[in-house]
Amino acid sequence: MTTTSTHTHPTPDSNTAHHLSLAETAIAHNYRPLPVVLASGEGAWVSDVEGRCYLDCLAGYSAINFGHGHPRLLAAAREQLERITLTSRAFHNDRLGPFCQDLADLAGMDAVLPMNTGAEAVETAIKVARKWGRERKGVAPDHATIIVADGNFHGRTTTIVSFSSDPVARDGFGPFTPGFRTVPFGDAAALENAVDESTVAVLLEPIQGEAGVLIPPPGYLQRVREICSRENVLFIADEIQSGLGRTGTTFACDIEDVTPDVYVLGKALGGGIVPVSAVVSRHDVLGVIGPGSHGSTFGGNPLAAAVGHAVVELLRSGDYQARAAKLGKQLHDRLESLIGHGAVAVRCSGLWAGIDIAPALMTGRQACEALLARSVLAKDTHGSTIRLAPPLTIGPDELDWMCEQLAAVLTGPGSAI
């Protein structure tokens, strides 16, 4: 795939128009996608039904960290497809144990509770924390509380949106689940003040992705770790987007040399092939879950375990983490040059960036539409902010080209709206 393709508006009889019509009439409108219909992908590139190519700079919200169609991941999936794909957890399968052992080792933990989607993993962590609080800490029945951060995004189940601060995610979905206290993200003093005898856990994204790649102040995660250790509270790190190489480290918590009590993982763990998520922790934490107290028919299925294990193997050498760190510096340098030239702020951690565009210039959605016309796929969030999260396999020249397209959108003719 090349960078020479151009985007044009679909004609009424085009394949794109056909699929957009189907989307309008046959698909529930819980998303507002850009008007592009993707049909294939390879590495950091995707192509649409008209044959036009685009640089994928969202990578499935980090689910495609290793690029589209990574040969080792596809090989693992194909091999397992020929053997067995689902057993249910009523029986053992020969792929789950090795996957869980090696994932636990990668995280420096003891055990894994496998699930499917990220939201399922967060729900699982919440249940584990509450049961741990009752059985290990002695919190009174039905009194456990969990501290969360303002601006969080942990999923869209009814329990999770109960502590969301996004009105779009919450409005109309009540009544909400109690048991959560919200404090400002990055404010360790506020978090410390919120802890009391009912607190069983602190649930945080080390870097808030959906909020615009918000990075907390230096030392924040270390303070959270200290507070949780002192107060006998579980530190649950939601690394669904930030983990598995995205930030230039295996986990974003590694940036401050912090180990939480619980990792919540997903997205990249499935290699962009199947949904795979996991709660990874110590035996004394996951040990509160017994037979019948939690489960999932598809959680830990052989196909998911085979792909997840291949992902863990890719991360063992540290090559992808090092690549994200090196290219992340290049990305940061290029994006910083746009401050004052259409961008008012940029935040980068590895190959992950949030760019705040001058609101008077254009919205984030308009910027992403303009990038689409330049064969770059990105995603907006919260008004005038866009996010960039290309696959870790992107090349340095492709990264420069991406930044050139963004600069053209922000500073070129017609940028003032």
Residue 222: partners with Cβ closer than 8 Å, 6 or more residues away: 256, 257, 258
DSSP-assigned letter for residue 14: S
Do residues 273 and 139 both lie within one domain? Answer: yes
Residue 269: partners with Cβ closer than 8 Å, 6 or more residues away: 103, 244, 276, 277, 278, 308, 311
Instruction: Tell me, rounded to whole angstroms, the distance of Cα 252 from its chain centroid.
Output: 11
Residue with the bigger pLDDT between 41 and 7: it is 41
Do residues 265 and 326 both lie within one domain? Answer: no
Q: Which two tokens stand for residue 30?
A: 């819980």
SS3 356: strand
pLDDT for the residue 6: 46
What is the Cα–Cα distance from 147 to 10, expressed in whole angstroms? 48
89-110 in b/e burial notation, b at 16+ Cβ within 10 A?
A: beeebebbeebbebbbebbebb
Where residue 85 falls (left for φ over 0; alpha for ψ -120 to 50; beta otherwise) is alpha
Do residues 112 and 152 both lie within one domain? Answer: yes
CATH of the domain at 80: 3.40.640.10
For 394-402, what is the mean pLDDT? 98
Q: How many domains does the chain have?
A: 3
Asked if 152 and 163 touch (Cβ cutoff 8 Å), the reply is yes
61 falls within a domain? no
pLDDT at 22 over 50: yes
Q: pLDDT (tens digit, 9 = 90+) per residue, 319-357? A: 999 999 999 999 999 999 999 999 999 999 999 999 999
pLDDT at 203 over 50: yes
Helices H, strands E: what count in the chain?
A: 13, 15
Q: pLDDT band at residue 14, thresholds of 50, 70 and 90?
A: confident
What is the Cα–Cα distance from 229 to 69, expressed in whole angstroms? 42
Which residues are part of the catalytic machinery?
A: 153, 238, 267
Q: Which domain holds residue 308?
A: 71-317
For 44-60, what is the mean pLDDT? 97
Residue 77: partners with Cβ closer than 8 Å, 6 or more residues away: 271, 273, 274, 303, 306, 307
Measured at the CA of 398, the angle between CA 395 and CA 400, to 5 degrees, comes to: 110
Do residues 177 and 208 both lie within one domain? Answer: yes
Do residues 207 and 289 both lie within one domain? Answer: yes
pLDDT at 7 over 90: no
263 falls within a domain? yes
What is the Cα–Cα distance from 306 to 269, expressed in whole angstroms? 11
pLDDT at 365 over 90: yes
364-373 vs 396-411: helix crossing angle, rounded to 10: 120
For 21-26, what is the mean pLDDT? 96
DSSP-assigned letter for residue 207: S
What is the Cα–Cα distance from 315 to 338, expressed in whole angstroms? 32
SS3 306: helix
Residue 364 — φ and ψ, nearest 5°? -60, -40
Burial of 292 (0-12, 13-18, 19+ CB in 10 A): exposed
Q: pLDDT (tens digit, 9 = 90+) per residue, 63-104? A: 999 999 999 999 999 999 999 999 999 999 999 999 999 999
60 falls within a domain? no
Q: Which two tokens stand for residue 243?
A: 């983990």
65 falls within a domain? no
Do residues 300 and 347 both lie within one domain? Answer: no
357 falls within a domain? yes
pLDDT for the residue 2: 46
What is the Cα–Cα distance from 39 to 49, expressed in whole angstroms? 5
pLDDT at 114 over 70: yes
Residue 195: partners with Cβ closer than 8 Å, 6 or more residues away: 147, 227, 231, 233
Task: Quote the mean pLDDT of the chain.
Answer: 95
pLDDT for the residue 10: 59
385 falls within a domain? yes
29 falls within a domain? yes
Q: pLDDT (tens digit, 9 = 90+) per residue, 26-45? A: 999 999 999 999 999 999 99
Q: pLDDT (tens digit, 9 = 90+) per residue, 298-326? A: 999 999 999 999 999 999 999 999 999 99
pLDDT at 402 over 70: yes
Asked if 237 and 259 touch (Cβ cutoff 8 Å), the reply is no
Do residues 291 and 364 both lie within one domain? Answer: no
> Of the candidates 288, 317, 346, which is a domain's last residue?
317
Please give the share of the chain, as a percent, with pLDDT higher than 90. Answer: 95
CATH of the domain at 355: 3.90.1150.10
